[in-house]
Amino acid sequence: MTEPLRPSASASDHAPAVAPDTAVNGVPDSAVAGELRRVLEQVDGVQKLYPAHPVWQNIAGAAHAAVTGEAPNPVAVDASGDVVTVKARIGVATGHRAPDVARAAAAAVRARLEPRRCAVEVAVVHIAG
Amino acid sequence: MTGSPPAPHHLDAVPDALLAGRAADGDTAAFETLARRHGPVMRAAARRLTGSLADADDVVQEALMQAWRQIDTLREPGAVRGWLLRITGSRSIDHLRRRRFHTDVDSVEETLDAGMAGRPASPDPESSAVSGSRIEALKRALAALPEEQRRCWVLKEFNDQSYEDIAQTLNISTASVRGRLARARVTLAREMEEWR
Amino acid sequence: MSTPNDTLDCGHTLAELSTYLDTGEFADPGHLNQCPECQAGLAALGSISALGTDLRDADIAAAGSGTDDWMQSILDNLRLELRPGRSIPVRGGHADDILSETEGAISAVIRSVADALPGTAAGKCRLHGDVGTPGAPVTVSVDLAVVYGHPLEQRAAELRSQLAETLSQQTELNITSIDVTITDILAPPPSADRTRTTPEEKP
């Protein structure tokens, strides 16, 4: 029960998130996650994104990633309900205040998804010295 | 503030207990320093236990991965070296159990020592020639020991573990450890002409 | 079960001597000092043990250095994940948002502040108190190692002051005290251009 993402008029600095062959009724969560990843990486003070669900916790996960060559998706998106939930773990760059960057990151995601109702979780897992 | 920013290896001089405390908090640099510091002895023990150069490196990697996950359970941070060796022993024995084929002990020893032929010359050639041949003789005597006795001996002499730890690692009783260790030493002593 | 020729003329066995070497336990301790057979047995076992140490040393030397490629490759493979610890809330701009920092991130900040002071390195760092409730009182404790010659009280005071400032910028915790415990004095690193016996520090 997903609604298509309305293309953002202000999103002139990056390519459209939706690939031509995605579902008509909804944008796959993975595409939204990729789009939000780009949004987050451009927030001032965000140094990098960390895996939302670390696969390195077990050898099997690490072996799988080594075989497929895929990096784990840093942004977890669930658009299956009325409220889109977004989870991201970020590293904050030197010279920035972590609480401010966390707020800026959540605001950037919220702005990108507008007017969809969303619940954004941002966790700062690393602060550069 | 005087002083330059910490050099990349500024943790090198830091004692084990402090590094273990930091690593338990999640400091990957501290953990890596511990890994580098104790890696060689872990590798040597794994090589002697598994009899394979390649398997030994797999064992060290598995041991370090387990250590990273469990280092916050370490009660005595100063004992981290013995703790790492204990994990190395367990992982080595597990590795041996997982081997599907029966390894001929003599050929394994050849593999191990052939691979080690390229080690650098020691500073004192004459004394090392004497002790070197004794070490070679010990290796041959070790290779001739029954598997279970050799494992006990290596876990004691290389990993420096207690009877209880060895019993747990090998899943046998401490009485069995005591007996196998003693028999191994007696055999070695006779082979090396230290005894009768 | 004993090995043939394992029993000494005095009635004791090499197996008992083996256990004695490892544990110090022996059924008849007074006997050992008086029995030349047992002494000879202990010497033989000790000699094997010493040779075992030689073998171990040779194996360690052959295992290379911890800075070699094989270790770097293992460390790369480990893909260490950050140990997160508890979640520390951060005020969000929107009611539906949940913003937080990990305790692990803050511990790393504390360590880096301590490491940046000259001659110091942090050990264990802890946040005490209910870090998950905004405004709840929280105390910080830090174990510190200081290189011999550096002024201990001054370093501890510098650390407290810098931590107070950094943590007020990087967290919204209500930090009521910062306790610095000096747990180690480290030997000074060998330095070719060290002309003073102790570093002088300006107040």
Instruction: Tell me what pLDDT residue C200 has.
Output: 47
Phi-psi region of C79 (alpha: psi -120 to 50; beta: other; left: phi over 0): left
Tell how far CA A29 is from the center of its chain: 10
Whether the CA torsion A16, A22, A23, A24 is positive or negative: it is positive
Look at residue C132 and tell me whether its pLDDT is greater than 80: yes
Residues of B in contact with C52 (CB under 8 A): 138, 153, 157-158
Assess contact for C131 and C86: CB atoms under 8 A. yes
Instruction: Tell me what pLDDT residue A21 has.
Output: 27
Inspect the interface and report whether the beta carbons of C94 and A102 lie closer than 8 Å.
Answer: no
* Cα–Cα distance, B154 to B44 (Å, whole number): 10
Instruction: Tell me what pLDDT residue B111 has.
Output: 52
Q: Which residue of A56, A103, A118 is in closest CB contact with C93?
A: A103
* Cα–Cα distance, C68 to C65 (Å, whole number): 5
- For A75, B10, C136, C151, C193, the CA distances from C199, given in Å and listed in that order, are 50, 18, 41, 9, 12
Inspect the interface and report whether the beta carbons of A122 and C87 lie closer than 8 Å.
Answer: no
Which chain C residue has its CA at the smallest distance from B175's CA? C19
Give start and end residues of each alpha helix (H) in C147-201: 152-170
Look at residue C79 and tell me whether its pLDDT is greater than 70: no
- For B52, C44, C87, the CA distances from C162, given in Å and listed in that order, are 51, 61, 23
Give the SS3 label for residue C149. Answer: coil
Q: Report the half-sphere exposure of C186 (CA within 13 A, side-chain side).
A: 22
Question: Would you tell me how many other CB atoms lie within 10 Å of the CB of residue C139?
Answer: 14
Q: Residue C94 burial by CB count (10 A; 0-12/13-18/19+): exposed, middle or buried?
A: middle
Look at residue B120 and tell me whether its pLDDT is greater than 90: no
Inspect the interface and report whether the beta carbons of B138 and C51 lie closer than 8 Å.
Answer: yes
Residues B13-57 pLDDT 10s: 899 999 999 998 888 889 999 999 999 999 999 999 998 898 999
User: What are C's interface residues with A at a Cβ cutoff of 8 A?
Assistant: 77, 79-82, 84, 87, 90-94, 96-102, 104-106, 108-109, 112-113, 116, 169-172
Inspect the interface and report whether the beta carbons of C102 and A125 lie closer than 8 Å.
Answer: yes
Interface of B with C in 110-169 (CB under 8 A): 116, 119-120, 122, 131, 134-135, 138-139, 153, 156-158, 163
Look at residue B2 and tell me whether its pLDDT is greater than 50: no
Interface of B with C in 6-45 (CB under 8 A): 6, 10-11, 13-15, 17-18, 21-22, 24-28, 31-32, 35-41, 43-45
pTM of the model: 0.61
- pLDDT above 70 covers what percent of chain A? 63
Q: What confidence tier does B10 reach under pLDDT thresholds 50, 70, 90?
A: confident
Look at residue C8 and tell me whether its pLDDT is greater than 50: yes
Residues A90-124 pLDDT 10s: 999 999 999 999 999 999 999 999 999 999 999 99
Residues B156-194 pLDDT 10s: 999 989 999 999 999 999 999 999 999 999 999 989 887
Inspect the interface and report whether the beta carbons of B22 and C111 lie closer than 8 Å.
Answer: yes
Q: Write the single-letter amino acid at B110.
A: E
Angle between helices C103-116 and C152-170 (to 10 degrees): 140
Residues C162-196 pLDDT 10s: 999 999 999 999 999 999 999 989 888 776 444 54
Q: What is the mean pLDDT of residues C112-121?
A: 92
Q: What confidence tier does C85 reach under pLDDT thresholds 50, 70, 90?
A: confident
Inspect the interface and report whether the beta carbons of C52 and B27 lie closer than 8 Å.
Answer: no
